[in-house]
Structure 1
Amino acid sequence: MKAQTRLLLTDTTMRDAHQSLLATRMRSIDMIRAAPAYAQLLPDLFSVECWGGATFDVAYRFLQECPWQRLRDIRERLPNIMTQMLLRASNAVGYTNYPDNVVRAFVHRAAESGVDVFRVFDSLNWVENMRVAMDAVIETGKICEAAICYTGDILDPARSKYSLSYYVQMARELEAAGAHVLGLKDMAGLLKAPAARVLFRALREEVSLPIHFHTHDTSGAAAATILAAAETGVDAVDAAMDAFSGGTSQPCLGSIVEALRGTERETGLDIGAIRTISNYWEAVRVQYAAFESGLQAPASEVYLHEMPGGQFTNLKAQARSLGLEERWHEVAQAYADANLMFGDIVKVTPSSKVVGDMALMMVAQGLTREQVEDPSVEVAFPDSVVDMLRGNLGQPPGGWPEGLVRKVLKGETPRTDRPGAHLPPVDLEAAREKAQKEIGQPLDDEDLMGYLMYPKVFSDYAARHRTYGPVRTLPTPTFFYGMEPGEEISVEIDPGKTLEIRLQAVGETGDDGDVRVFFELNGQPRTIRVPNRKVQGSAPRRPKAEPGNPGHVGAPMPGVVASIAVQPGKPVRAGDLLLTIEAMKMETGIHADRDGTVKAVHVAPGAQIDAKDLLVEIE
């Protein structure tokens, strides 16, 4: 890349577009239809980012489709452009550390299934935590793009922790570790144009690697930063198709191409082709209106809270579920306070989630930073905070604040070395055999990797797939919103095998909650009974946890009860696991905050719950 003067671009539309619920909910069918157009009209793109990060588990969890199938389908239809994925180093595509051999096996499987460029990062910028994943990528012969996560402001003397020398030193370490490309991952869109000129000039002078820049447009100023980066010789930048750009997504690809036209950094991309493909995405976006981020205008508030583009919408949804939507600006301030309380850390999945958990708790309970840090004030910290300060995410520059560690861990000694070094290797074949017995079907290597990343999520997906078949082939409006009587759709379930489905009528809902559906399948009349999920709206509401009642354990957010760990009449001690909730793409453990006896359990596994629903009573 360095020999070229023109700027190379990566299109992020298929993975990062709008960095919200909309981005992670995008279905394979919409991506696959676009892939041949990219191959034919935009062959000069550096890469298309289309996999990894949150899109992996969301495919199983919400879209009822296999992320590996998505990757293979895109690879087949996009043979002349590199595919790119986001890899969370030792977290792979999960939210916890995995054994080293699992990380290596995942990387090798992803390379074989179609990934060309692996963007590897660590949520705390700890190079030691990146090496296993980087080595695995290099072993595959694919491109290892090792990324530095940008935070702070190198031109602000008050943020000296993340100075110019900090970024230069990390770049040197990543080059020495064998990276093929140096990535600069500005996940919140904090890098401003003047700072970009200083930073990229220094990186260009100190390392010999090509430089790839990724940012978000939450502030509305990211295009200026990209142009400044181009001036200083950055080799490649990320952008989103016009129809999916701006907001918490990337800057507009077409506008960047036009802005550089006639300069020595001209991209060479066909603006007509960009507009043609963008027109397709514009029509697709309408189908995902329910998942829009709600960001109506650029927000300079991002320089206060420093939330990554991928977290912004999820945290807003969590705040809404807790009744804090009208207090969003307090949440933003609490997020900034929590960050400084943790020592001013890099905030990207999964560390960003920990800061968000702490911020929501502070606002919900009316706690200030001073109270949280005060040793004399009792605080029940979120599990994610306890886990992070134990050292299970790794180490930030300078370590964790000692006073906060003492208060959170209550005398427990934290780990300061690499978490993955303490995890025993997984016997992959034994794990496959165990999973096959549990799920009741054979698992190939892709399925095994999905199971190892997310055992319960994958098991639930496999069970739904056995029941409903390849729903990934349904048209997007039908998948999300259903059909209306008289509507007809065509569904290609296999190459050359198409079903013509016409909905005729929907009957009355029975006492059992099932409804009769009358339809035609390839012209033949059919009838089926299915659960009517709409009847849940008239179901009795669950009791709510009483505010101030220490014996009531309420739901911190909406979700589904994944498991129950206690029984009525049994004793519990402070810290014991009561139950787990699956919500916001993750499982959250609910723990007892006091000793006592379980008086009642008000939910069962699989139950849908709302925020503040009464879950358990302890006396």
Structure 2
Amino acid sequence: MSKKLLIRDLTLRDGQQSLFATRLRQEQIDRVLPFYKSANFYAMEVWGGAVPDSVMRYLNENPWTRLQTIKKAVGDVSKLTALSRGRNLFGYTPYTDEIIDGFSRNAIQSGLGIMRIFDALNDINNVKSTIKYVKQHGGIADCAVCYTIDPEPEKKEEPVVEEPKKGFLGKLFGKKAQAPAAAAEPAYKPVFTDAYFLNKAKDLEKLGADMITIKDMSGLIPPMRVAKLISEFKKTLQIPVDFHTHCTPGYGLAAVLAAIMNGVDIVDTNIWNFAGGPAAPAIELIYIFCQKLGIELDVNMEAVAKINKELYNIRKELADIDAGKQFPKAFNPLTDKLPAEVDALFNKAIAECKAGNEDALLAACHQIEAYFNFPKPNKLVQTAQVPGGMYTNMVAQLKALKSEDILEDAMKLIPQVRMDAGLPPLVTPTSQIVGAQAVNCAMDVKNGKPMYTNVSNQFKSLVKGEYGETPIPVNPDFREKICGHRDERPFDTSTYKMQPNPTLDEFGGVKLAENEEEVLLLELFPMVAKGYLTGVKKAAWEAKKASEPQAAATTEAPKASAAKKIVGETIVTPLPGRLLNYLVAPGDKVKMGQPVAIVEAMKMENTITSTAEGYVNNLVASVGENLAGEAVIMDVVAEPVAKASQEKPKAATKVAVGPTTGVTVPMPGKILDIQVNPGDKVQPGQVILVLEAMKMENSITAEVGGTVNEIFVEVGETVAADTKVLDLVDA
């Protein structure tokens, strides 16, 4: 065989994130690692993306431990890969070089071999530091060019004029003609051309990239476009080229075949039972194509079959959160013979790809996928030309707002919102920012208000320039409308403030983050890591107390008993399960029916609501603890419980009597910050609080001026849409 193709397996990161919301537990991963050691993949993507957040948020596991455990099991057989967003790493905040350096060093020391680095805006300046530090600490810098498409120009009907009429019959039957083309508006000039992507790749190579990935996160790249791009990249670049895509709209399998036939060095795949649909194509199908093309695939397919057998069992365990709920037909390319008509489809796909017949190529690949029962192409995503994740997020946002009827209106606004914001590529996180803002604008119109009445803080940051340089400049007039200033203002990392790292006196006086790994978690995931690390310290403290000699335990017993004394009305979990997270803290005021904790039971996340009104006294159970049915998780008392001194107390005193105007939130979410107090005078349009909804921070403003009379919510409280958060007395 003349050519060798390398495979990056995505199963344990992108595969599980695409299909199962990143819920694979360590014990499930441990079951397949012995087989992975024999599989001989070039690389395994196991970390980054949503993994570090999700393993803390939902599984109560340590992200660093996951990476270290996989490295220990696999050794140097495959290079472990992670995904990061350049200067933003895993979130929305641009981080300092110090944090990027520390993160890169710890990741590589924990076993990472390749860091796939991308920027949502394809802004080269945003990836410079990560490339530098990854290479400095011995890692491979895999730099991604994010594929996206230009918005489709709005179709306008051409005005019709009458041709000059000649004679009597001409006056009766004169034909109509199109208006002169000269009167039309200037045509939109495409931005995301082949030259655009190639120039970005060349810039990354100059910065020190060790390989380049064409990263099509949405699966929207047609196979013939892939063929052309790969061919140009291979002619121009001196470093390996990888291709990454998804199958959602139906291009994935054909696109990977086109990449292979045009000389790509590496392709990204998933293993059979975690492949297709929103995920990447199956390696088993790629193996068949490579056999027919005479391309060597240096992967142990017997080991892959063993992994796949266990993945089948794991997928059944994850049934409740399975995005596809559709298993492919059982198949092993080493032992199962293809029917003649299916084998012919593989040959046809190769022939049509070679001939450049895109429609016929796609038809053959769709028939192959249909035979094996992979999900059908999502025509809605294909037609809308937006990523599947962006679309589903918009649907969820509108459902929360009880406004599903304006989905079509919101979808139609995406091109305008995107153009207004500087035409950002539709990749995470900018796709979510644009999608959420399109929903906000559609809601504004529905409520009879001007577009951009409600604007998320992330959208403001995008327009301001804090995320980096957009593909086209933002109109200064629009920036002034959204941000209050006309000039671009990039994020200044010198103003970055580290997250608070308090001493936990209640758990023996330890720091919340005790080492560099924990400090990095706190910086990258402030809210999630705080809850996770608090649970870790609490568990360690309780284990230490339990292991002390009996005499010491007896001495301490009264103190421990007092600390855990239940004096109020108890809140219990109705089902046996595992406590994933608390949503409140001691001293918080809770209302009847307010969510207070999340318990995983019957493989589902269950929100536990308060059955009492008052103040949280004690959190009785530990995060991660397995609970029996009717187990007490907290108690609620009538009188306030003293909070830590650094917490801002709720000022609930009424300052005046008279007519008041209520201020409500337009969507459900969590109160992140309250920026006013009773007695404060506010102006129309002034920000009064910040609400987190659908992972976006939304500034809630006062529509009228007045004096704050009473505040009805607290920081950290989860509220429903139209909840009254405060009232104002007329100024």
TM-score after normalising by structure 2? 0.67
Gaps of 5+ in 2: 154-186, 326-374, 542-572, 578-608, 636-659
Match for residue 299 of structure 2? 269
In the TM superposition, residue 308 of structure 1 has moved relative to its aligned partner by: 3.6
1:607 counterpart = 2:701: no
Match for residue 132 of structure 2? 135
Match for residue 57 of structure 1? 53
| Residues 149-158 or 51-60, more deviating | 149-158
Q: For residue 253 of structure 1, what is the amino acid of its counterpart?
A: I
Q: CA-atom RMSD, angstroms?
A: 3.8
Retained in 2: the 8 A contact 1:153–1:190? no
Retained in 2: the 8 A contact 1:20–1:312? no
Retained in 2: the 8 A contact 1:121–1:130? yes
Q: Provide the rounded CA distance (Å) in 1 between the counterparts of 2:391 and 2:103.
A: 28
Q: For residue 37 of structure 1, what is the amino acid of its counterpart?
A: F
In the TM superposition, residue 154 of structure 1 has moved relative to its aligned partner by: 12
Deviations along 1:560-583, one digit per CA (max 9) or x if unpaired, are 434433333322345655334455
1:288 counterpart = 2:318: yes
Q: For residue 8 of structure 1, what is the amino acid of its counterpart?
A: L
1:443 counterpart = 2:511: no
Retained in 1: the 8 A contact 2:391–2:435? no
Retained in 2: the 8 A contact 1:436–1:443? no
Retained in 1: the 8 A contact 2:457–2:696? no
Q: Provide the rounded CA distance (Å) in 2 between the counterparts of 1:553 and 1:466.
A: 38
- Which residues in structure 2 correspond to 1:236-247 (within 5 Å)? 236-247=266-277
State which of 135, 142, 148 in structure 2 corresponds to 1:151: 148
In the TM superposition, residue 357 of structure 1 has moved relative to its aligned partner by: 1.6
Match for residue 482 of structure 2? 408
The alignment partner of 2:412 has SS state of: helix
1:93 counterpart = 2:90: yes
1:352 counterpart = 2:431: yes
State which of 530, 533, 557 in structure 1 corresponds to 2:632: 530
Match for residue 379 of structure 1? 453
In the TM superposition, residue 173 of structure 1 has moved relative to its aligned partner by: 0.6
Q: Provide the rounded CA distance (Å) in 2 between the counterparts of 1:204 and 1:21.
A: 32
1:397 counterpart = 2:397: no
State which of 495, 513, 534 in structure 2 corresponds to 1:463: 534
Retained in 2: the 8 A contact 1:20–1:314? no
Match for residue 680 of structure 2? 570
Match for residue 203 of structure 1? 233
Retained in 2: the 8 A contact 1:562–1:580? yes
Deviations along 1:434-466, one digit per CA (max 9) or x if unpaired, are 577897445111101111112332111122334
State which of 20, 23, 27 in structure 1 corresponds to 2:21: 23
Q: Provide the rounded CA distance (Å) in 1 between the counterparts of 2:258 and 2:27.
A: 36
Q: Provide the rounded CA distance (Å) in 2 between the counterparts of 1:326 and 1:20.
A: 27
Match for residue 302 of structure 1? 381
In the TM superposition, residue 409 of structure 1 has moved relative to its aligned partner by: 2.2
Match for residue 255 of structure 1? 285
Q: For residue 453 of structure 2, what is the amino acid of its counterpart?
A: V
Deviations along 1:212-271, one digit per CA (max 9) or x if unpaired, are 111111112211000000011111111122212222221222222222223232424344
Gaps of 5+ in 1: 373-377, 471-479, 485-508, 534-548
Q: Provide the rounded CA distance (Å) in 2 between the counterparts of 1:159 and 1:248.
A: 31
Match for residue 544 of structure 1? none
- Which residues in structure 2 correspond to 1:111-126 (within 5 Å)? 111-126=108-123
The alignment partner of 1:9 has SS state of: strand
In the TM superposition, residue 410 of structure 1 has moved relative to its aligned partner by: 3.0
Match for residue 395 of structure 2? 316
State which of 66, 73, 90 in structure 2 corresponds to 1:70: 66
State which of 357, 364, 381 in structure 1 corresponds to 2:443: 364
Q: Provide the rounded CA distance (Å) in 1 between the counterparts of 2:629 and 2:433.
A: 49
Retained in 2: the 8 A contact 1:187–1:215? yes
Distance 1:599 1:511, change over 3 A: closer
Q: Which has the larger radius of gyration?
A: 2
Q: Provide the rounded CA distance (Å) in 2 between the counterparts of 1:155 and 1:6.
A: 39
- Which residues in structure 2 correspond to 1:506-585 (within 5 Å)? 529-531=631-633, 551-554=662-665, 556-557=667-668, 559-573=669-683, 576-582=686-692, 584=694
Q: For residue 451 of structure 1, what is the amino acid of its counterpart?
A: L
Q: Provide the rounded CA distance (Å) in 2 between the counterparts of 1:131 and 1:392.
A: 16
Match for residue 212 of structure 1? 242
Q: For residue 444 of structure 1, what is the amino acid of its counterpart?
A: N
| Residues 609-618 or 77-86, more deviating | 609-618
The percentage of aligned residue pairs carrying the same residue is 27
The alignment partner of 2:191 has SS state of: helix
1:222 counterpart = 2:252: yes
Q: Provide the rounded CA distance (Å) in 1 between the counterparts of 2:697 and 2:50.
A: 14
Distance 1:18 1:317, change over 3 A: farther
Match for residue 166 of structure 1? 196
Distance 1:209 1:28, change over 3 A: same
In the TM superposition, residue 590 of structure 1 has moved relative to its aligned partner by: 3.8
Distance 1:440 1:139, change over 3 A: closer
1:33 counterpart = 2:31: yes
In the TM superposition, residue 144 of structure 1 has moved relative to its aligned partner by: 0.2
Retained in 2: the 8 A contact 1:572–1:596? yes
In the TM superposition, residue 483 of structure 1 has moved relative to its aligned partner by: 4.4
Retained in 2: the 8 A contact 1:435–1:451? no
In the TM superposition, residue 406 of structure 1 has moved relative to its aligned partner by: 2.9
Q: Provide the rounded CA distance (Å) in 2 between the counterparts of 1:174 and 1:481.
A: 54
Q: Provide the rounded CA distance (Å) in 2 between the counterparts of 1:305 and 1:155.
A: 10
Match for residue 342 of structure 1? 421
Higher RCO, 1 vs 2 (CA within 8 Å, ≥6 residues apart): 1
